Amino acid sequence: MSKMKASEAIIKILEIEGITAAFGIPGAGINGLYKFLGQSNIIRHFCHRHEEAAVHAAGGYYRASGKVAVAVCTSGPGATNFVTGIYTCNIDSIPVIAITGQAVSSQLGKDAFQCVDIAKICEPVAKKTYCITDPAKVVETFNEAFYLTREGKPGAIVIDLPLDVQNADIEFDPESYKPRQYTPPAPEPADIAKAIQMINGAKNPVLLLGGGVVLADGIKEAAELAETLRLPVITTYMAKGALPEDHPLNAGHCGIQVGQPIGNKVFLDSDLVLGIGCRFTDRHTGALDVYRGNRTFIHINIEPKEIGKIFPADLGIVADAKKALQALIAEAKKSGKAASHEDTAALPQLRKDLARKTDYDKKPIVPHRAFQALNEYFGDAAIFTTGCGITQIWSGQLQKINKPRTYLASGGAGCLGYDIPAAFGAAIATGVQTVAVMGDFGFTFHVQELGVCAKYKIPVIVAVVNNAYLGLIRQNQKYAYGYECDVAMEENQGLIDYVKIAEGFACYAERVFDPKDIAGAFKRAQASGKPAVIDIVCDPVVDCSMGTALNNCKEFVY
């Protein structure tokens, strides 16, 4: 054992645990740690302009790469600014280690300057929180934290570090530190045999893939299972990209907002649902009586509490998604029988027949046309992020994504301001072109992160679908309540100049009024080599297809 500062030991632990990127903002309450973070030859730190954005960047880093990153900030308002980012990661099962600075231990609970109980504040929105007041517990706490962030249903871990603990001398031998290994649970063979028996006995079974399949790297196995059993594949929003768009068994999304007509139809025609790595949350299911109907549900999830949380499963299996898929494939091949879904052969034609219209050439631009341009110009060569609102819903409905970890959405939190910093984190992780797809109002949440993109020469492209409205809220007010109040934002197409804002952050920018110019704008943005903002001026009052149940989603054509 050798004696060293706790902060030095923490940085060495981060390095051993595989951390190569940290996103944060230094401050007086965390400067003990930053002294040694700055000396690391392994971990690169990226300084943000808002603490929440640092957590979104760390989350985007993981979503794109599968590698855990660290977010770091100071005490008080720095730490409370972390909360939304922590919530966003945790609800989407994204592992991240969030480290916050804190006043010295003797000042805890005494209203000291920038002293707030962030561990207590974050308890409801994190997987686990710690406030380390005993320096001797630093090593074991970080060891446990890294294990927990990856274990089972992944999530966000908060570690609050009082300044005296950061600067304390502790005994630590890096050679003896060992990361805790986690072995994901395998399914019970009897449950797998029963599941295959139930599928083979159904008339119209479907395979429902959730985000857990992506997190478990079970994409290849999901396709093999579908092909072995000839099952139509429906994806939840968080699993977008889990199966190529043109795969013969791809039945699209199901849901009341980002759902698609084909996904909703195939789901409603089904009599058995094999749900893997999904949560059956409200924007996916809509009205539960319609969603459940007389269907049989097999629910496979790594987290026991997820099974039966929304409604009882006819068969619940606690298992890692990839291991469950592998077991299902083996059992399906042993049974030698394919499922008998009536719609399987018709799926490719059904996709064409039920596809929503995007080829509008009208002016002002119909928003759908912007997504056609995104599909045609970027194809599979970009990673997309999107946060919340009517633009995010259009994005989920209309963007064509063929690969996992290339469509990164704030799913459970629906967080405005997530888009740009998440795109930055994804670009840092992969080196791939990233595109933040967002509305005009959402653009002003964490727009300052464009300056971070410029500083580090990361050419994130921001596609602003500018309809000069709080579009989703306007639509809700209109159809649910019959009024409109304070949702019009005509200033976003006139008084406020997003091009000048972007240029002020050293970005390339232009405003587009003609649908035929969108692709050219994207090309010029890429050619600039800078982060870029393309402000696509759209028709303000175009509605988005949605409903309250899978059988009442209203379609709009313009």
Which structure tokens are listed for 360? 């509008």
CA distances from 193 to 127, 197, 199, 327 (A): 33, 6, 10, 9
CB within 8 Å of 336: residues ≥ 6 apart: none
pLDDT of residue 485: 98
pLDDT of residue 458: 98
pLDDT of residue 344: 84
Cα 401 from chain centre = 14
| AA identity, residue 209 | L
Of residues 57, 109, 52, the one with CA closest to residue 79 = 52
pLDDT digit of tens for each residue in the chain (558 aa)? 689 999 999 999 999 999 999 999 999 999 999 999 999 999 999 999 999 999 999 999 999 999 999 999 999 999 999 999 999 999 999 999 999 999 999 998 998 899 999 999 999 999 999 999 999 999 999 999 999 999 999 999 999 999 999 999 999 999 999 999 999 999 999 999 999 999 999 999 999 999 999 999 999 999 999 999 999 999 999 999 999 999 999 999 999 999 999 999 999 999 999 999 999 999 999 999 999 999 999 999 999 999 999 999 999 999 999 999 999 999 999 987 766 666 688 999 999 999 999 999 999 999 999 999 999 999 999 999 999 999 999 999 999 999 999 999 999 999 999 999 999 999 999 999 999 999 999 999 999 999 999 999 999 999 999 999 999 999 999 999 999 999 999 999 999 999 999 999 999 999 999 999 999 999 999 999 999 999 999 999 999 999 999 999 999 999
pLDDT of residue 407: 98
pLDDT of residue 555: 96
- Identify the CATH assignment for 356-537 out of 3.10.110.10, 3.40.50.970, 3.30.565.10, 3.40.50.2300: 3.40.50.970
Taking the C-alpha atoms of residue 478 and residue 206, their distance in angstroms, rounded to an integer, is 35
Radius of gyration of the chain (CA): 24
Q: What angle do CA 196, 285, 370 make, to 5 degrees?
A: 110
**Which residue do the tokens 């949380």 mark?**
309
Taking the C-alpha atoms of residue 328 and residue 56, their distance in angstroms, rounded to an integer, is 35
CA distances from 12 to 97, 176, 447 (A): 15, 12, 34
Question: Which fold is adopted by the domain 2-176?
Answer: Rossmann fold (3.40.50)
pLDDT of residue 381: 98
Cα 179 from chain centre = 26
Please state the domain extents for the chain.
Answer: 2-176, 189-350, 356-537
Q: Is it true that 2-176 and 189-350 share their CATH fold?
A: yes
pLDDT of residue 345: 87
pLDDT of residue 336: 78
CB count within 10 Å of CB 151 equals 17
HSE, CB side, 13 Å, CA atoms: give it for residue 353.
Answer: 9
pLDDT of residue 339: 61
Between helix 261-268 and helix 347-354 the angle, nearest 10°, is 130
Taking the C-alpha atoms of residue 447 and residue 452, their distance in angstroms, rounded to an integer, is 10
pLDDT of residue 1: 67
Domain 189-350, classified CATH 3.40.50.1220, yes or no: yes
pLDDT of residue 342: 65
